[in-house]
Amino acid sequence: MKNKTIFAIPGSLRSGSSNHHILKFIGTLLPPDVNYFIYDRLAVIPPFDPGNDHEHVDENVAEFRSFIKNADVVIFCTPEYAFGVPGQLKNALDWTVSSGSFVEKPTALITASLGGEACHAAMQLILGAINATLIPEATLLVKFVRSKVGADGEITDEETKSEVIKSVNEIINKLGTLSEQ
Ligand SMILES: Cc1cc2nc3c(=O)[nH]c(=O)nc-3n(C[C@H](O)[C@H](O)[C@H](O)COP(=O)(O)O)c2cc1C
C-alpha cells in the first residue's frame, strides 16, 4: 500500500516561529510510514493575480498546488496578524480557489497565536470556500502560544502538548480511514 503523505503549512515566516515548532513536534508523533513535509516557501508565492490563475501560472504556485493535490492530509498551523489570516498564507490560499486543489482534502487547522479567534474563524470560512474537508476533531486554537513554546522549540505547556497529541491521533485515524477506501 502506498505511504500516506501529510503536507504541513506554517502561516508564520518568522525564524524561531512557535507555529513551526508545533509542526516540527507533530512530525515526531507520526508513524514512520507517513511522509511528512513542512512547507517553507510561502514567501516565494507571488501576489495573487486572477489574470494569471490558469495560463502562465508561476512555477512556485504550480508547485504549491501540486503539493496540496498529492497530499492525503493538509495541516495548517498559523498565527493571527491584525485580527486576520497572515497575508502570505491568505495570498497562497487565493491561488487555490480556482485550481480546486483543496476539494475534499482532509485538512486540520491549528491556530497558535496570542489570541487567534478571528484568524481561526476566518480560516474555517476560507477552507469552506475552497471545499476542503475540515477534520473537526483535529482543529485546535492555542492561545498565548509564545508562553507555551520554549525558545528551543519544546512545548512547555502540558495541556497544549496533550491537545496537539490528540489532534495528531485524530489525523492518524483519518489516514487509517483513507487506507480503507
Ligand atoms: C504584526 C503583528 C500583528 C499581530 N497581531 C496579532 C493579532 O491580531 N492577534 C493575535 O492573536 N496575535 C497577534 N500577533 C502576535 C502573534 O500571534 C505572535 O507573535 C505569534 O507568536 C506569532 O506566531 P509565530 O511564533 O509562529 O511567529 C501579532 C504579531 C505581529 C508581529
Domain ranges of the chain: 4-180
pLDDT at 179: 75
Closest by CA position to 106, among listed 84, 128, 73, 76 = 73
Among left, alpha and beta (phi > 0; psi -120 to 50; other), residue 29 is alpha
Q: Residue 150: CB within 6 Å of ligand 1?
A: no
Walking along the chain (181 residues) 10 residues at a time, the average pLDDT comes out as 91 96 98 96 97 93 98 98 98 97 98 98 98 97 97 96 98 89 68
Q: Residue 12: CB within 6 Å of ligand 1?
A: yes
Distance 39 CA to ligand 1 centre (A): 20
Q: Which atom of ligand 1 is nearest to the CA of 20?
A: 26
pLDDT at 99: 96
pLDDT at 172: 96
CA-nearest residue, atom 12 of ligand 1: 114
Give every CB contact of residue 142 below 8 A, 6+ residues apart in sequence.
22, 110, 111, 112, 113, 116, 148, 160, 163, 164
pLDDT at 114: 98
Question: How far apart are the C-alpha atoms of 22 and 87, rounded to whole Å?
Answer: 20
C-alpha distances in Å from residue 79, one per residue of 2, 99, 111, 161: 33, 25, 6, 17
pLDDT at 1: 59
pLDDT at 2: 72
pLDDT at 180: 73
Q: Return the residue matching grid coordinates 497558535.
A: 112
Q: Would you state the CATH architecture of domain 4-180?
A: 3-Layer(aba) Sandwich (3.40)
